[in-house]
Amino acid sequence: RSLLPDVFVAIGQCTHQGCTPQLRSTPGGGGEFLCPCHTSKFDLAGRVFRAGPAPTNLVVPVYRFDGDSRVVVGEA
52 binds ligand FES (CB under 6 A): yes
Residue 38 designated active-site: yes
DSSP string computed for 11-37: --S-TTT----EEEEETTTEEEEE-TT
For residues 51 and 76, which CB has a smaller minimum distance to ligand FES in the complex? 51
Q: Which residues contact 65 (CB under 8 A, 6 or more apart)?
A: 3, 4, 7, 71, 72
> Least separation, in Å, of the C-beta of 39 and ligand FES?
6
> Least separation, in Å, of the C-beta of 54 and ligand FES?
5
What is the contact surface with ligand FES in residues (CB under 6 A)? Answer: 14, 16-19, 35, 37-38, 40, 52-54
